[in-house]
Amino acid sequence: MTFDDLGLSEALLRAVADQGYTRPTPIQMQAIPAVLAGGDLLAGAQTGSGKTAGFVLPMLQRLSTTASARGNGHRRPLRALILTPTRELAAQVDASVKAYGKHLKLASFALFGGVGFAPQVAQLRRGVDILVATPGRLLDHHARRNVDFSAVDILVLDEADRMLDMGFIADIKRVLALLPRKRQSLLFSATFSDDIRALAEKLLDQPRTIQATPRNSTVETISQRVHPVNRHEKAQLLSHLIGKNRWQQVLVFTRTKHGADKLVRSLEADRIRAVALHGNKSQNVRTKALADFKRSAVDVMVATDIAARGIDIDQLPHVVNYDLPNVPEDYVHRIGRTGRAGATGEAISLVCVDEHGFLRDIERLLKRPIAREVVPGFEPDPHAVAQPVFANRNRGRELTQKHAHSPAAPRGQHRAAHGNARQEPAHQRHTPSSSVHNRDGAQSRHHAQPRSSNVVTNGAARQSRSHSATSAGKRMGIAGR
């Protein structure tokens, strides 16, 4: 199947060709005709599947070929609303709308918190056909009467599972109550929990349901490895691996924002260029961190799951789980950032004794074991005793039975099933993260000691980097975005 077979207009086909896309992805093959047909849609798809074009292309076609039936007096009424969990994703989806709509006369705008209101108000006054927004800032503008929902024909919830994880459900419901009842609604989610199904029930009217395997679901093409290590030697081991193997473009996942910052400091002490990407950073800092990583000005980006979610930095050569995720599906999402069609990527997990239960859950999900490889000089203490990863037992609805009895947890110690939800604040306005502790508590003491001679830093590694910028940029699939 080609894009020509999907019923898209000539202007959109040209824009798709400009992007260099030759074939629609599976989600696009299914979603584009479904959305063009006008009904509601429930789609299972994750970052990397091509889902954005899956809803943006048919949305653009519908908006460009029909006039607003509910002109609200504004010469350019808001007709489509796309809600996203993160600012980065909003900016990225808006960039896609602009790219795919470049031969059309539709205006789009990304609206999110962390930046000033005034320019946003000015843009909203000028008129916008398509708004890509995070829920908190959108509601703030609605409360100030800067935005009018009365002509909205199409609503998209993008990465709905993450929106719920991040505590946006109340805001989503508030937005839904403000929209015209008669509209087309599309819900995209990587996973389908009971909460997502309940939301879909409320939001969607006789939806078509489609499911696409992610582009990188081929876990087989990704080389996976576990390095068992003591919890307080993880940072040192990471520096060692980066230096020895001369890795560039390494995406490292930590469980918490605090853990991400601490790790960046540690890497920098080893003269490895690193940045952190998480919700405690100002928007400008986050944008710069991402840009620096994409243009290879830094070698390592340390991110929390939610911060990394949605941003277009897949197809990296190396993904490192500095902390194993406690939600096994997040492991698949994370390692899906590496590898690409026909090439192998490398996903490495630094696993200490506290995380053996998480590892077992992940292997159960993958239905296969992951190879263990002890790095000489970093042998884990065979007598080490597991410590609980989550210190706060009262995480309410985020706990699940499944993880409450995870084997590595000491008796009675609960594990949170959606630790990510705590890493990033609802609305990204508040930061209630102090109740979550990464138990790598010994790390700060460890860093006060002289660093290991195992750490290969950095001269040779630096010299080998001449090829890095272009090839890494290509690997990341960021060209044209």
Q: Which is nearer to ligand AMP, 243 or 336 (CB)?
A: 336
Quote the least distance from Cβ 310 to ligand AMP, whole Å: 7
Contact between residue 68 and residue 79 where contact means Cβ atoms under 8 Å apart: yes
Quote the least distance from Cβ 157 to ligand AMP, whole Å: 15
Q: Note whether 312 binds ligand AMP by CB under 6 A.
A: yes
Sign of the four-CA dihedral 42, 46, 50, 56: positive
Interatomic CA distance for residues 163 and 170, integer angstroms: 10
Q: Which is nearer to ligand AMP, 233 or 305 (CB)?
A: 305
Quote the least distance from Cβ 476 to ligand AMP, whole Å: 9
Quote the least distance from Cβ 307 to ligand AMP, whole Å: 16
Quote the least distance from Cβ 461 to ligand AMP, whole Å: 28
Interatomic CA distance for residues 238 and 351, integer angstroms: 12
Of 44, 48, 167, 207, the one binding ligand AMP (CB under 6 A) is 48
Q: Which is nearer to ligand AMP, 393 or 474 (CB)?
A: 474
Interatomic CA distance for residues 343 and 230, integer angstroms: 32
Q: Which is nearer to ligand AMP, 25 or 256 (CB)?
A: 25
Interatomic CA distance for residues 406 and 394, integer angstroms: 16
Q: Which is nearer to ligand AMP, 7 or 180 (CB)?
A: 7
Quote the least distance from Cβ 420 to ligand AMP, whole Å: 19
Binding mask 51-80 for ligand AMP (x = CB under 6 A): xxx---------------------------
The answer for 182, left when phi > 0, alpha when psi is -120 to 50, beta otherwise, is beta
Interatomic CA distance for residues 125 and 119, integer angstroms: 10
Residues comprising the chain, all counted: 481
Quote the least distance from Cβ 34 to ligand AMP, whole Å: 16
Interatomic CA distance for residues 417 and 436, integer angstroms: 13
User: Tokens at residue 33, please?
Assistant: 């005709």
Q: Which is nearer to ligand AMP, 33 or 380 (CB)?
A: 33
Q: Which is nearer to ligand AMP, 32 or 203 (CB)?
A: 32
Quote the least distance from Cβ 162 to ligand AMP, whole Å: 13
Q: Which residues contact 318 (CB under 8 A, 6 or more apart)?
A: 247, 249, 250, 251, 338, 345, 346, 347, 348
Which residues, in sequence order, are bridge partners of residue 210? Answer: 43
Of 26, 29, 40, 50, the one binding ligand AMP (CB under 6 A) is 50
Coil, strand or helix: which one is 384? Answer: coil
Q: Which is nearer to ligand AMP, 47 or 443 (CB)?
A: 47
Quote the least distance from Cβ 331 to ligand AMP, whole Å: 19
Helices (H), 70-224: 87-100, 118-126, 135-143, 160-165, 169-178, 194-203
* Single-letter residue type at 432: P
Q: Note whether 47 binds ligand AMP by CB under 6 A.
A: yes
Quote the least distance from Cβ 80 to ligand AMP, whole Å: 17
Coil, strand or helix: which one is 126? Answer: helix
Q: Which is nearer to ligand AMP, 185 or 315 (CB)?
A: 315
Q: Note whether 44 binds ligand AMP by CB under 6 A.
A: no
**Based on C-alpha coordinates, what's the Rg of the chain?**
23
Q: Which residues contact 305 (CB under 8 A, 6 or more apart)?
A: 253, 325, 330, 333, 334, 420, 423
Of 32, 41, 49, 151, the one binding ligand AMP (CB under 6 A) is 49
Binding mask 272-311 for ligand AMP (x = CB under 6 A): ----------------------------------------
Q: Which is nearer to ligand AMP, 392 or 471 (CB)?
A: 471
Which window, 44-52, 146-154, 180-188, 217-225, contacts ligand AMP (CB under 6 A)?
44-52
Q: Whose CA is closest to 267, among 320, 216, 205, 221?
A: 320
* Single-letter residue type at 82: I
User: Tokens at residue 77, please?
Assistant: 């009424």
Of 39, 114, 380, 477, the one binding ligand AMP (CB under 6 A) is 477
Q: Note whether 84 binds ligand AMP by CB under 6 A.
A: no
Q: Using CB under 6 A, which residues numbered 1 to 30 contact ligand AMP? A: 21, 23-25, 28
Which residue has tokens 């902390």?
323
Which window, 46-54, 73-81, 297-305, 456-464, contacts ligand AMP (CB under 6 A)?
46-54
Contact between residue 73 and residue 240 where contact means Cβ atoms under 8 Å apart: no
Report the 10 Å Cβ neighbour count for 284: 10
Quote the least distance from Cβ 27 to ligand AMP, whole Å: 8
The contact set with ligand AMP (CB under 6 A) reads 21, 23-25, 28, 47-53, 312, 477, 481
